[in-house]
Structure 1
């Protein structure tokens, strides 16, 4: 306190001693340090430990070294393996589908043949009827789709009516004749034949003569046996020397 600085040393010591006795007689809860708080080096801790005297120059206690962190790796937690699930049965084709009928129908037929009971025969023919119904629905639906699609309708590409088909056939014939005449001007026909024992050779002569006279093809006859045709066609033939 400020007014104590004017007292003599003896009075000052008595005053401090009286104050210390008063603090010692106070209830313990007033002077006791709160748990969890370390006392200061001087001040209130002096009166609680006055038998030690003045200890202004005491060194504070060294802090305890913190334990070094462990370098050992933490053990890995091993979880028990999950229980193995039972394998699912292989999924087969859906009942009533084409794949199902393809798989079941032979078995039903074999069962009906091996044991021709009413149940086995009925099961086979019911499965066969199911397949026939599917085929009929597919055919009817296909006709509807094709009829409504100009790129799939065959009647639009080649009509079935007599007048339209005749007109298309005539146009195609004219184009074919033009193409054959163009080919005849750049290529010829080599006709290999036998003079004896070749009944088909005489029939080929008729077709070759039509191509020669109608489109202008050049026919080069080559005899395989060195003999002429019995009809005398193409008398200026050549004998085959390995060309055939």
Structure 2
């Protein structure tokens, strides 16, 4: 038997030798196993490169959208777009014209506004035309001339009764201001209303009654109010602001009376 120390020396000496293909003892018995030419190769594990961990997430920078500097309307395809797309185009055109108020931008935006308005007016006119042709829809609103005349006569007579009934408990107050361009003309309309309706009215100057003006919230002149005497206390109800003709004033008055519950007959109202 070989000494243990000799075996260790031999193993050290042949530790760096390249391994040969494995043969069993019977095929290569002259050399034998003790030459240390038969060994098992150690498999080296491949080290995966570790990606450096992100120490801190990068802060996301805010994203901004820059507006174009020129309003461009796709006129050639505008008729085929949906109303939602047209609304978006109008909104962006308005924003561009606001940020870059050049003559071209403003006029192009206003042309688009006019185009949209013409579409709306066309729809309104055609819808009324087609409704008159439909027997069911046309029944809701009288269209024949005799029926219209009858409605006007009825409305005029019933309105006269209402005006007479409320003459003692209702009146008109108009807030005016020095230098108001429309205020003198409104005062002439009130004189006509007094003769036609037998209603009283009062002119209030904003310079001499600032507390009342503040209480009523007046911002435009003339500011017209219906005043109702309720249990000894005046109730102010705004009819409208700005100049109105006598017919407009009467229509606005009866719409207010209907909306406030003082009258129930909707035929007396013109919307």
Which of the two has higher C-alpha Rg?
A: 1
Could you state the TM-score of these two structures normalised by the residue count of structure 1? 0.31
Greater share of strand: 2
